[in-house]
Amino acid sequence: MTTIRPSTLIPLLLLAALAVLPFAAESYYTAFFARVLIYAVAASALNLALGMGGMVSLGHALFLGLGMYSVALPAHFGIDDGWLQLALCVAACGLVGLVTGAISLRTSGIAFIMITLAFAQMGYFLVVSLKQFGGDDGLPIAGASRFFGLELASAEAVYGAAFCLLLALTAWVARLRVSPFGMTLRAGRQNARRVASVGLALPRYQLAAYVLSAVLCGLAGMLLANLNAYASPSSMSWMVSGELIVMVVLGGMGSVFGPLLGALAFLGIEELLKGLTEHWMAIFGLLILAVALLGKSGIAGLLARLDARVPARRSPRLAEGRA
């Protein structure tokens, strides 16, 4: 019998609890945890570029905002077809991700961070300049997205969609990490020269990961737009990109369950401290610093340390043979 390690068991129990939460919690908590799930999807998208590919992007809020306006702009003209909005989101995020990624990947390190930040700020100021669509006041969404009769007009509907998307994305990332594509990305993050020496074109893998990350982050933006019934240029600000990076690092870069753990910890502690003191940001910063110092691999790394304390269960036949 195989023993499930704490690093896997605890996140699975957390997912099981999230699966039944809408049936037992009040609408306020359903809306809050729907937001947690949406940001977990966005953090999972960034984790593909940052955690696996080693690309520190400070501009992923751009794709989150594109996803939100992929819902808001069609709804402004009376179009609430979710499939059309989804196609617009995938096309916009994929194209922008391809162009910005191809340019950004010509650099590395601090230059890469600054270029991705510059692209996000360009998107922010472009949306602010569109006064006919609300400008910096944002754009209310009159009609929620519809998918085959399913309308994302309630927190419960958005929660269900976000949970299913996160579940599928987590399972996909788990397989991707051990696939040739994922292993090439992870190897390139550790030593790009060795990957190039065996004949692999690492920049192509990184660009593909960046575009996939952009599209997935756009899907999170679509869900967030339906949850808030509102799209705002502030969703494209560098602070949102910074929050996503903190979630990935806090949960554990490159891990399967890290984005979920990081989003839950980040937003949960933030919500808790807001209710206790108006100086919550100072306390929150110290807590993040403590986690970073105590566990460089994040919450997922702390759970992995528990694995070493769980004795491996030996096969009964092997035990009988040794006896």
Spell out a b/e string for 196-222, using b for 16 or more CB atoms within 10 Å of the CB, else e.
Answer: eeeebebeebbbbbbbbbbbbbbbbbb
Residues 58/113, Cβ–Cβ less than 8 Å: yes
Residue 319 lies in a domain: no
Report the CATH number that the domain containing residue 182 is assigned in CATH.
1.10.3470
CB 283 within 8 A of CB 277: yes
- Asked, for residue 317, whether it belongs to a domain, the answer is no
- Residue 322 falls inside a structural domain: no
User: What pLDDT does residue 318 have?
Assistant: 38
Q: Is 197 a domain residue?
A: yes
With respect to residue 320, please indicate whether it lies within any of the assigned structural domains: no
Q: What is the pLDDT of residues 74-86, one digit of tens each?
A: 999 988 899 999 9
Instruction: Tell me, yes or no, if the pTM score tops 0.75.
Output: yes
- How does pLDDT run across 219-246, given as a tens digit for each residue? 999 999 999 999 999 889 888 998 999 9
Report pLDDT digits (tens) over 26-36: 888 999 999 99
- pLDDT in single tens digits along all 323 residues of the chain: 456 787 788 889 999 999 999 888 888 899 999 999 999 999 999 999 998 988 998 999 999 999 999 999 999 998 889 999 999 999 999 999 999 999 999 998 899 999 999 999 999 999 999 888 888 888 999 888 998 878 898 999 999 999 999 999 999 999 999 999 999 998 888 888 888 888 888 899 999 999 999 999 999 999 999 999 999 998 898 889 989 999 998 888 889 999 999 999 999 988 888 888 888 888 888 887 777 676 667 888 888 887 777 665 544 443 444 44
Domain that holds residue 131: 6-311
Q: Is residue 318 part of a domain?
A: no
Q: How many domains does the chain have?
A: 1
Report in angstroms the alpha-carbon separations of 134 from 76, 192, 234.
11, 45, 12
